[in-house]
Amino acid sequence: MTRHVGIVLFPVFEELDAIGPYEVFGALSELDADWRVVTVAESGGVVTGAHGLKVTADHSFDDCPPLDVVLVPGGFGTRQEMDNPRMLDFLQRAARTASYVTSVCTGALVLHKANFLAGKKATTHWGAIDLLRGMGDVEVVKERYVQDGNVITAAGVSAGIDMALYLVSVLKDAQTARNVQKMMEYYPKPPELAEATV
């Protein structure tokens, strides 16, 4: 039986928040045919990210298959999605079949509005920590990613890759996650930056 990871898109989503985990779960699907990663948007069709990347969603909220993992990226578009009743309803419905509900960056704000973070530990982009904390009833921590029950939240942008690799180790095993990491050649270290010359 096919198991689905659903990445939820919306206007002005932060591209790497979605595409980083998409790469991880896409690699998982190459190693294990039982898994498939799909993109979902309210009406389907083309969704434009924060930097102009256009992605054609695989499904709308209405025709989305049951999801085993739900992932909400961040970006300034989350400010509108926090108050979008169709988004919040979709997330609550999707969570009924999902083993894990996850977010990257300010996607945590949307998860909180959809009642997934009440009484839990969570994280988000450093620039939104006070905003998430101010929503109340959530313990906000400064970590790369945080798991509390079946909810996993990641900090800003590139942290979504780390969270997704961790989730692969949970869904499958550590060796599969290492194999995905190797396929991606993802071994981050601090960048070497050129100094300006006068």
pLDDT digits (tens, 9 = 90+) for 177-195: 999 999 999 999 989 999 8
Paired strand residues for 57: 45
The answer as to whether 170 is a domain residue is yes
Q: How do strand 100-104 and strand 151-154 relate by DSSP bridges?
A: parallel
| pLDDT for residue 198 is more than 80 | no
Three-state DSSP at 131 gives helix
Average pLDDT estimate for 14-35: 98
**CA dist 180 → 5, 17, 133, 187 (Å):** 15, 18, 34, 11
Q: Which domain holds residue 170?
A: 3-184
Q: Which of 24, 83, 19, 79 is nearest to 51 (CA)?
A: 19
As a whole-number percent, the residues of the chain with pLDDT over 90 amount to: 96
d(CA 31, CA 95) in angstroms, rounded, equals 25
The domain that holds 46 is classified in CATH as 3.40.50.880
Catalytic positions are 105
pLDDT for the residue 196: 78
Q: Which of 32, 31, 29, 55 is nearest to 44 (CA)?
A: 55
The answer as to whether 195 is a domain residue is no
The answer as to whether 197 is a domain residue is no
d(CA 80, CA 118) in angstroms, rounded, equals 20
pLDDT for the residue 197: 73
pLDDT for the residue 1: 87
pTM: 0.96
Q: Please tell me the total count of domains within the chain.
A: 1
The answer as to whether 143 is a domain residue is yes
Confidence of residue 25 (pLDDT cuts 50, 70, 90): very high
Confidence of residue 50 (pLDDT cuts 50, 70, 90): very high
Phi, psi of 55 (to 5 degrees): -120, 130
pLDDT tens-digit map of 101-149:
999 999 999 999 999 999 999 999 999 999 999 999 999 999 999 999 9
**130, containing H or E segment:** helix 129-134
| pLDDT for residue 82 is more than 80 | yes
The answer as to whether 107 is a domain residue is yes
